[in-house]
């Protein structure tokens, strides 16, 4: 008998399917204030895995973690005109505290360029203090008019990096290093998501930046999702906050700064990039639970080998748990683990054990395979590697199938209704970009013909990727 579906089908209503997965997989719930969210333990465990992998890469690039205040004097934001103009509609401002009106309103952190710039100016004296490479893990508030869990919420979690350098070249090289060695590396090698890496147009770049680079992922409904960005800020913030240093000749120079960030939006990207009609699908390298050992029935002492196998898996470095809650039906528990996207199940029951075997079930294919109990640990490790590589291959195949080469603006707008369009930038630049935006289609990024990231949007023969976006 066919298994009853517990989720709306993607083809029937993709937004409803997304909300269903968040609820049924126990990832998140709406918070009490509009636009806020409660991240449930399973969802937060995924965020912790993301944090661990991204933080490892950030530190490998030489940055150190710090923490800066949630509250920022409003006057700080006013010092960088383009920055404050870009964020003004999203600001949450505190005007009263302790029962009194504040002498100066306080902005709840939307991003930290301003407050970190203030302290960079204090800490940097000479070229010997540079580069200064900082990162913080924090929450930020940007008031959203149309919130969606993980994708756009008024409060979200993120990491934001901020660095200061002696030259533009050094700042640009570091911003690119973060883009490639932190974000692209994590998204391809861990999330198994083949992101499109490129340069944002002037219309799409970060407020106050001279260059924004991005990692864009294509979701299963054909829309693009900005997964992470890395910005060159030039000397804009250095001039606004007097971030200077004495060079080796004793002359005062302004620093060149960068900022870069990734957020809990990546969880939304994980759901929409890999999920299917059975729920979430988590790549093994990311999964907080890589393998669940599922006790079918607690008969004939089946629980003992199930516990031993779980211990063996954990001892070999696999993140494994035992589900021995046999008071709940086996079918219901199997469905729940499928919804959560755990890459591999090991089903342990008295019937299989009587034959000296257990059953391995791949979440990505749904395939079942009986293996000797003595080989289950090694086979599980091998299958997890296979699943990781196959998920990236399948995601790459899907992205390429959703990407169309077009030669006109009208064709680009039409192709973007169901995927990503790729066309010459010269057809889009200027007023044409605004016309596309009026049709709900934006330029996600620019690349050179060979796929590399351009140094300037005025280079010849650039390619634009355009799409509808979250």
Question: What pLDDT score was predicted for residue 171?
Answer: 98
Which residue do the tokens 């280079």 mark?
Answer: 459
**422-434: average pLDDT:** 96
Answer yes or no: is pLDDT of 219 > 50.
Answer: yes
Q: How does residue 88 score in pLDDT terms, banded at 50, 70 and 90? A: confident
State the pTM of this model: 0.95
Q: Rounded CA gap, 342 and 384, in Å?
A: 11
Please name which of 213, 182, 208 lies closest in space to residue 455, comparing C-alpha atoms: 213
**284-289: average pLDDT:** 98
In this predicted model, what pLDDT tens digit does every residue of 170-196 receive, in sequence order?
A: 999 999 999 999 999 999 999 999 999
Residue 301 phi, psi dihedral angles, 5° rounding: 55, 35
Mean pLDDT rounded to a whole number for the chain: 96
In this predicted model, what pLDDT tens digit does every residue of 230-259 receive, in sequence order?
A: 999 999 999 999 999 999 999 999 999 999
**46-56: average pLDDT:** 98
Q: How does residue 81 score in pLDDT terms, banded at 50, 70 and 90? A: low
Question: What pLDDT score was predicted for residue 415?
Answer: 97
Question: Is the peptide bond preceding residue 131 cis, with omega within 30 degrees of 0?
Answer: yes
In this predicted model, what pLDDT tens digit does every residue of 199-209 receive, in sequence order?
A: 999 999 998 89
Question: What pLDDT score was predicted for residue 1?
Answer: 46
Answer yes or no: is pLDDT of 3 > 80.
Answer: no
SS3 assignment for the chain: CCCCCCCCCCCCCHHHHHHHHHHHCCCEEECCCCCCEEECHHHHHHHHHHHHHHHHHHHHCCCEECCCCCEEEHHHHHCCHHHHHHHHHHCEEEEEECCEEEEEEEEECCCCHHHHHHHHHHHCCEHHHCCEEEEEEEEEECCCCCCECCCECCEEEEEEEEEEECCHHHHHHHHHHHHHHHHHHHHHHCCCCCCEEEECCCCCCCCCCCEEEEEEEECCCCCEEEEEEEEEEECHHHHHHCCEEECCCCCEEECEEEEEEEECHHHHHHHHHHCECCECCCCCCCCCCCEEEEECCCCCCCHHHHHHHHHHHHHCCCCEEEECCCCCCHHHHHHHHHHHCCCEEEEECHHHHHCCEEEEEECCCCCEEEEEHHHHHHHHHHHHHHHHHHHHHHHHHHHHHCEEECCCHHHHHHHCCCCEEEEEHHHCCCHHHHHHHHCCCEEEEEECCCCCCCCCCCCCCCEEEEECEC
pLDDT-wise least confident of 2-16, 271-285, 383-397, 449-463? 2-16
Question: What pLDDT score was predicted for residue 89?
Answer: 81
Structural domains in the chain, sorted by start: 14-274 (3.30.930.10), 291-383 (3.40.50.800), 403-467 (3.30.110)
Q: Rounded CA gap, 209 and 83, in Å?
A: 8
Q: Are strands 71-73 and 64-65 parallel, antiparallel or unpaired?
A: unpaired
**269-291: average pLDDT:** 98
**154-179: average pLDDT:** 98
**Residue 12: exposure state from Cβ atoms within 10 A (0-12, 13-18, ≥19):** exposed
Question: What pLDDT score was predicted for residue 145?
Answer: 86
Q: Rounded CA gap, 234 and 322, in Å?
A: 52
Question: What pLDDT score was predicted for residue 2?
Answer: 52
Q: Rounded CA gap, 436 and 235, in Å?
A: 32
């Amino acid at each position: 008998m066919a298994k009853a579906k517990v989720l709306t089908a993607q083809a029937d209503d993709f937004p409803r399917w997304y909300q269903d997965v968040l609820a049924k997989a126990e990832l998140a719930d709406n918070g009490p204030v509009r636009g806020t969210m409660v991240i449930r333990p399973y969802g937060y465990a995924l965020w912790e895995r993301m944090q661990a992998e991204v933080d490892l890469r950030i530190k490998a690039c030489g940055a150190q973690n710090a923490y800066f205040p949630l509250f920022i004097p409003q006057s700080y934001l006013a010092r960088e005109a383009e920055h404050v103009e870009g964020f003004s509609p999203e600001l949450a401002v505190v005007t009263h505290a302790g029962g009194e009106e504040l002498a100066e309103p306080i902005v709840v952190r939307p991003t930290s360029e301003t407050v970190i710039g203030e302290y960079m100016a204090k800490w940097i004296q000479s070229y010997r203090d540079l580069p200064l490479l900082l990162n913080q893990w924090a929450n930020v508030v940007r008031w959203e008019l149309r919130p969606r869990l993980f994708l756009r919420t008024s409060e979200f979690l993120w990491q934001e990096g901020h660095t200061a350098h002696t030259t533009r070249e050094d700042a640009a090289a570091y911003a690119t290093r973060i883009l490639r060695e932190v974000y692209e590396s994590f998204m391809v090698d861990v999330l198994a998501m083949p992101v499109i890496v490129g340069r944002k147009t002037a219309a799409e770049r970060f407020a106050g930046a001279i260059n924004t680079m991005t990692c864009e992922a294509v979701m299963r409904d054909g829309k693009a999702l900005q997964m992470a960005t890395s910005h060159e800020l030039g000397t804009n913030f250095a001039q606004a906050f007097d971030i200077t240093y004495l060079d080796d000749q004793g002359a005062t120079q302004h620093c060149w700064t960068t900022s870069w960030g990734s957020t809990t939006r990546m969880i939304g990207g994980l759901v929409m990039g890999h999920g299917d009609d059975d729920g979430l699908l988590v790549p093994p390298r990311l999964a907080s639970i890589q393998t669940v050992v599922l006790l079918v029935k607690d008969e004939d002492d089946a629980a003992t080998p199930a516990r031993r196998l779980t211990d063996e898996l954990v001892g070999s470095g696999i993140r494994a748990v035992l589900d021995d809650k046999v008071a709940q039906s086996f079918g219901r528990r199997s469905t729940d683990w499928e919804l959560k996207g755990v890459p591999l199940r090991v089903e342990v029951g008295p019937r299989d054990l009587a034959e000296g075997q257990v059953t391995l079930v791949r979440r990505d294919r749904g395939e079942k395979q009986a293996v000797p109990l003595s080989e289950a640990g090694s086979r599980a490790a091998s299958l997890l590697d296979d699943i990781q590589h196959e998920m990236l291959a399948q995601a790459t195949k899907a992205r390429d199938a959703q990407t169309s080469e077009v030669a006109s603006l009208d064709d680009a707008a039409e192709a973007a209704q169901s995927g990503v369009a790729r066309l010459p930038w010269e057809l889009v630049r200027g007023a044409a970009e605004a016309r596309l935006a009026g049709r709900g289609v934006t330029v996600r990024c620019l690349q050179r013909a060979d796929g590399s990231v351009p140094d300037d949007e005025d280079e010849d023969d650039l390619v634009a990727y355009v799409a509808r976006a979250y």
